[in-house]
């Protein structure tokens, strides 16, 4: 907490706004926009590498949150005050940092894959700045951020080393698909048991169910796309790519608004919502635009 008190002493209204903007780089909306652009329009291979690390690290972080159940800094020390604008997005427990994990998996992987030194440095700086912003805003301690960086680095490394081997054959694909499903279901069961035993409130379990629902959507969507769809990211014209991206994002926002009206707001509804949203990104929308947008002709 000493470091957070030091950062609190440096706060100014202008710095608060800047750090709030920086922390948005690790939020769900920013990650979705970048991953969709990569997956639909630029490099499916790179998007999948990022996604494997992102979803697996996300499951690990959410499991650690409900296992250790460490409160936010302002709960640990009632005299400490976070920046008010950051509190609504600070859901669940404090350890580890979800924003930092998102930023590390996304921008960290982009940095590792970048061939330009300046661009690589920029991506790594974005990861560190998001982690710093979480501490400056008073939402996380240094241990929360460091733990997220460690978990993210582990899954980025595992994805880089093992993904190609685990997707090189039909049996390997099925095994990886089964492991992904088991991991997601395991997180759901773990959270439900903690809630049932009275060790975890439903409000603090929501992020767990979101991560598991998204993970299930990713697993099913990835498997169907890899084994059945195999869409192409290219298009004959740049305006087609732009329209394809814009229409897909509009679909996400429409589903995000409509699904709760149909499914409600219960625990199962949260899982269903994120399952459908990620399934839309991974396979439903690519199947739709593959029928409309012609691929670039082969040279």
pLDDT of residue 146: 97
C-alpha torsion 35→227→49→238, nearest 10: -40
Residue labelled with tokens 């690290």: 57
Distance CA 17, CA 187 (A): 35
What pLDDT, in 10s, does the model give residues 7-17? 999 999 999 99
Interval 234-254 mean pLDDT: 93
Confidence of residue 258 (pLDDT cuts 50, 70, 90): very high
The confidence score (pLDDT) of residue 115 equals 85
The conformation of residue 266, written as its DSSP 8-state character, comes to: S
Could you tell me the pTM of the whole model? 0.93
For 96-114, how does the pLDDT look when each residue is reduced to its tens digit (9 = 90+)? 999 999 999 999 999 999 8
Give residue 297's pLDDT.
62
- pLDDT tens for 40-70 read 999 999 999 999 999 999 999 999 999 999 9
Rounded to the nearest angstrom, the gap between the alpha carbon of residue 282 and the centroid of all alpha carbons in its chain is: 14
Q: Check residue 100 and give its pLDDT.
A: 97
| pLDDT tens digits, 169-182 | 889 899 999 999 99
Average pLDDT across the chain, whole number: 92
CA distance 89 to 53: 22
Asked whether 74 and 82 are in contact (CB, 8 A), the reply is yes
Q: Which residue in 45, 46, 39, 41 sits closest to 237, CA to CA? A: 41
Q: How confident is the model at residue 145 (pLDDT cuts 50, 70, 90)?
A: very high
The model's confidence at residue 281, banded by pLDDT at 50, 70 and 90, is very high
The pLDDT of 279-287, averaged and rounded, is 96
CA atoms of 61 and 218, how far apart (whole Å): 17
The per-residue DSSP string of 193-218 comes to: HHHHTTSS-HHHHHHHHHHHHHHHHH
What are the angstrom distances between the C-alpha of 31 and each of 27, 125, 290? 6, 16, 23
What is residue 203's predicted lDDT score, i.e. its pLDDT? 87
Phi and psi at residue 12, in whole multiples of 5°? -140, 160
**pLDDT the model gives residue 298:** 57
pLDDT greater than 90 at residue 164: no
Q: Please tell me which residue, 262 or 124, carries the higher pLDDT value.
A: 124
Would you state the pLDDT for residue 1?
A: 79
């Amino acid at each position: 907490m000493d470091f957070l008190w030091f950062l609190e002493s440096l706060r100014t209204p202008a710095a608060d706004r800047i750090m709030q903007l920086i922390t948005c780089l690790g939020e769900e909306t920013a990650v979705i926009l970048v991953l969709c652009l990569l997956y639909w329009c630029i490099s499916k291979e790179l998007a999948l590498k990022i996604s494997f690390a992102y979803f697996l690290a996300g499951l690990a972080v959410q499991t650690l949150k409900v296992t250790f159940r460490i409160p936010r800094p302002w709960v640990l020390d009632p005299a400490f005050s976070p920046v008010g604008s950051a509190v609504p997005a600070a859901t669940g427990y404090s350890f580890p940092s979800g924003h930092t994990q998102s930023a590390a998996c996304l921008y960290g992987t982009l940095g590792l894959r970048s061939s330009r030194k300046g661009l690589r440095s920029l991506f790594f700086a974005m990861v560190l700045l998001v982690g710093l912003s979480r501490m400056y805003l008073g939402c996380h301690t240094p241990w929360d951020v460091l733990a997220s960086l460690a978990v993210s680095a582990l899954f980025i490394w595992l994805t880089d080393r093992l993904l190609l081997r685990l997707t090189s054959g039909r049996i390997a694909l099925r095994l990886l698909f089964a492991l992904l499903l088991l991991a997601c279901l395991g997180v759901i069961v773990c959270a439900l048991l903690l809630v049932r035993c009275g060790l975890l409130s439903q409000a603090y379990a929501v992020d767990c169910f979101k991560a598991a629902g998204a993970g299930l959507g990713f697993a099913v969507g990835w498997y169907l796309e890899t084994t059945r769809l195999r869409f192409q990211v290219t298009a004959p014209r740049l305006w087609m790519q732009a329209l394809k991206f814009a229409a897909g994002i509009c679909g996400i926002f429409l589903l995000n608004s409509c699904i709760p009206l149909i499914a409600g707001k219960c625990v199962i509804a949260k899982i269903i919502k994120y399952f459908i949203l990620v399934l839309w990104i991974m396979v439903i929308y690519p199947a739709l635009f593959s029928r409309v947008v012609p691929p670039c002709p082969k040279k």
